[in-house]
Amino acid sequence: MRISKYPVLCLIAVLAMGSCTKIEHLSPIPSISFKSFTIFDTTDILGNESKAGRLNFYFEDGDGDVGLKVPTEGQADSTNLFFILYRKTDGIMSPAEANDPLYPSSYRIPYMVRLGQNKILRGTISVTFLYLLYSPTDTIKYDFYIRDRLLHQSNMASTSEIIISTNNIYKK
């Protein structure tokens, strides 16, 4: 029995065309969205009991330039994840002072690169905060944003209201 070449060649051509996927295009400006914030009990490096919070947020970047390399000797440290703290006072959320003990530092998202034609980066970033000084009535929230290596600033995302003294998972 002899198999014809043409149906086999047609099948190979169809499979080859089906395996070629278009490259997805996203904006080069990063986009973020709040997923959750978890408050939990922990112990600091000196053995003191404290509270901690873990922020989880989703990000997308169309040109894949999120993250910074660790600075080498002589270079200034730089950050690319920024926070604005709000405190609830008399039922109203208002921006906290810069010297507030709960005000977080800015953070550096580690350098990321994606090889190949499709440079889009997507994923979830987790940041942990340590709360050493807080009162049982402290209620806060954060606004936050990221910058990529070309200094494109993402949209601003916000957490829900967070009661520091209560272990909980807060979602939008």
Q: pLDDT (tens digit, 9 = 90+) per residue, 78-133?
A: 899 999 999 999 999 999 999 999 999 889 999 988 887 788 899 999 999 999 88
pLDDT of 23 strictly over 70: no
Q: Is the pTM of this model over 0.85?
A: no
* 160 close to 171: Cβ distance less than 8 angstroms: yes
pLDDT confidence of residue 71: 81
44/75: higher pLDDT? 44
37/117: higher pLDDT? 37
> Is residue 12 domain-resident?
no
> Is residue 2 domain-resident?
no
Sort 35 into a burial class: Cβ within 10 Å, 0-12 / 13-18 / 19+. Answer: middle
Q: pLDDT (tens digit, 9 = 90+) per residue, 142-158?
A: 999 999 999 999 999 99
> Is residue 63 domain-resident?
yes
DSSP 2-32: ---HHHHHHHHHHHHHHH--PPP---SS-EE
Tokens coding 56: 């989880």
> Is residue 86 domain-resident?
yes
* 106 close to 128: Cβ distance less than 8 angstroms: no
C-alpha dihedral over 59, 107, 65, 120, to 10 degrees? -20
pLDDT band for position 6 (50/70/90)? low
Count of domains observed in the chain: 1
> Is residue 128 domain-resident?
yes
Q: Within 10 Å of residue 133's Cβ, how many Cβ atoms?
A: 9
pLDDT confidence of residue 91: 92
pLDDT band for position 74 (50/70/90)? confident
Mean pLDDT, the chain, integer? 87
Domain, as residue range, for 33: 23-170
> Is residue 17 domain-resident?
no
27/32: higher pLDDT? 32
What distance in Å separates the CA atoms of residue 1 and residue 50, rounded to the nearest whole number? 78
> Is residue 56 domain-resident?
yes
pLDDT confidence of residue 51: 94
Strands 139-146 and 81-89: antiparallel
> Is residue 142 domain-resident?
yes
Query: Which residue spans within 48-167 are E strands per DSSP?
Result: 49-61, 81-89, 92-95, 121-131, 139-146, 157-158, 162-163
